[in-house]
Every structure is written in structure tokens, then in C-alpha cells.
């Protein structure tokens, strides 16, 4: 089992915080196929959501579970108490938004991803598996929050239907988030090889 030194944890926590905040304002894109670049040029197509989940997985693969969790706890505290860094702003009232469950799920998702990413020396398939498990954790807890949200009867605040929200927050972005997880896996693999840990 590989461990991360304290200076690396601190560095990746700070970098991860900036990545997570910045990725919330950065839409995810995919380019046209490389073999088409010469004839048709490079075209970018939006995936329809932000790169935030990719940033959560990336920092967990690079900094481990402690850096991943510290990053996400700090991000949530900043968003709930001070800065408007969430998709729809911020503040304590964000707890009553159905999307908050997915933000809250970043903490256990980062822990799972970071825990699995450092079980062995960096190998592409293990990093990919850790990102996939982190993504599944995020969606499972996000869906659980939606169910609790419905049971508490907060629907008067937003007037929503549970299945529509599950589709909006989990089903529709899932394929794109898998692409981001693969990208985070590849970047983490290369960086961990270059940094010898």
C-alpha cells in the first residue's frame, strides 16, 4: 500500500480546492476525432455539464483519501458559509436544493477514490477502478439525498418529482462523467509516474 507524505497531502489539498472551484465554472468538452483534424479542423462539442466531478476524482487519485476529503470539506464549507461557488450560488440555504446531495457526496466519493488509488503502485486499471468506484459512490449518495429530500417533504420548496431529478442529476450526466473519470485516470497515472509515487 502506497502512502502520501504530509507535504504532498497539503499541496494536493490546496491544488484540489482550486481545481474543484475552477472546474465548477469550466464546461466539459470533447473534440472531434484526431483523424478528422487535418481535413476538417479541430471542433469542440460540449458535454453538457461542468468538469467538477473529474476534479474531485483527479485530486483523490493524486493526493489520496486525506487530500481528497480535506479538499471537498473545505469546498463545501466555503460554499455554504462564504462564497457563491456552487452551480446556483451558495449559502446555507443550498442545503435545501436537491443538487446538494451530490456535492455532499463528493466527500465519501473522494475518500473511496483516494483509498483505492493508493492500494497499489500506480497502474492504469487500478486508478480507473478507483475513479469508477468514487463516481458510483457520488451517485449513490446523491440519489439517497434525493430520496430523503422527498421523504422530508421539501418538495414545496422546489416542486419536483423524484424520478425526474434522478434522471437529471445521475442518468443524463453519467456517460460524460465516466469520460471525465477516464481523463482523470490518465492524468493521474502520468503525473504519479513522473513524480515517482
Q: Identify which has the larger pLDDT, 62 or 155.
A: 62
- How many residues are listed for the chain in this entry? 197
Residue 160 has pLDDT above 70, yes or no: no
The alpha carbons of the chain give a radius of gyration, in whole angstroms, of 17
Helix or strand or coil: residue 83? coil
CB neighbours (10 Å) of residue 99? 17
For the ranges 80-89, 139-148, 151-160, 188-197, the maximum mean pLDDT occurs at: 139-148
Q: Is 166 in contact with 143 (CB distance < 8 Å)?
A: yes
Helix (H) or strand (E) segment spanning residue 49? strand 44-50
Contact at 8 Å (CB) between 26 and 50? yes
Q: What pLDDT shows up at residue 127?
A: 96
How many CB atoms sit inside 10 A of residue 125's CB?
Answer: 10
Q: What is the pLDDT of residue 89?
A: 84
152 or 20: which carries more pLDDT confidence?
Answer: 20
Contact 70, 58 (CB under 8 A): no
pTM for the predicted model, two decimal places:
0.88
Whole-number percent of the chain with pLDDT over 70? 95
Cα 49 to Cα 158: distance, rounded to the nearest angstrom: 21
> What percentage of the chain exceeds 90 in pLDDT?
55
pLDDT-derived band at 157, boundaries 50, 70, 90: very low
**C-alpha cell belonging to residue 195:** 513524480
pLDDT digits (tens, 9 = 90+) for 61-70: 999 999 999 9
Per residue in 13-26, pLDDT tens?
999 999 999 998 88
Q: Which strand (E) or helix (H) includes residue 62? A: helix 52-81
Q: How far apart are CA 38 and CA 170, in angstroms?
A: 36
**Considering the chain, what is the average pLDDT of its residues?**
89
**pLDDT surpasses 60 at 112:** yes
| CATH architecture label of 6-196 | Orthogonal Bundle (1.10)
Grid cell listed for 154: 421539501
Supply 190's cell numbers. Answer: 502520468
Q: Is the pLDDT of residue 30 over 80?
A: no
Amino acid at each position: 500500500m502506497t502512502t502520501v507524505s504530509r507535504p504532498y497531502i497539503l499541496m494536493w489539498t490546496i491544488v484540489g480546492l482550486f481545481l474543484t472551484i475552477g472546474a465548477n465554472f469550466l464546461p466539459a468538452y470533447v473534440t472531434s476525432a484526431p483523424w478528422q483534424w487535418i481535413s476538417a479542423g479541430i471542433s469542440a462539442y460540449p458535454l453538457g455539464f461542468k468538469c467538477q466531478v473529474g476534479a474531485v476524482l483527479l485530486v483523490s487519485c493524486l493526493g489520496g483519501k486525506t487530500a481528497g476529503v480535506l479538499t471537498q470539506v473545505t469546498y463545501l464549507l466555503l460554499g455554504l458559509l462564504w462564497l457563491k461557488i456552487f452551480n446556483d450560488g451558495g449559502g446555507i440555504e443550498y442545503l435545501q436544493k436537491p443538487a446538494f446531495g451530490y456535492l455532499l457526496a463528493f466527500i465519501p466519493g473522494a475518500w473511496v477514490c483516494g483509498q483505492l488509488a493508493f492500494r497499489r503502485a500506480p497502474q492504469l486499471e487500478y486508478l480507473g477502478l478507483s475513479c469508477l468506484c468514487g463516481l458510483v459512490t457520488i451517485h449513490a449518495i446523491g440519489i439517497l439525498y434525493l430520496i430523503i429530500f422527498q421523504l422530508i417533504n421539501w418538495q414545496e420548496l422546489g416542486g419536483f418529482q423524484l424520478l425526474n431529478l434522478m434522471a437529471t442529476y445521475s442518468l443524463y450526466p453519467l456517460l460524460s462523467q465516466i469520460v471525465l473519470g477516464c481523463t482523470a485516470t490518465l492524468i493521474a497515472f502520468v503525473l504519479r509516474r513522473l513524480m515517482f509515487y
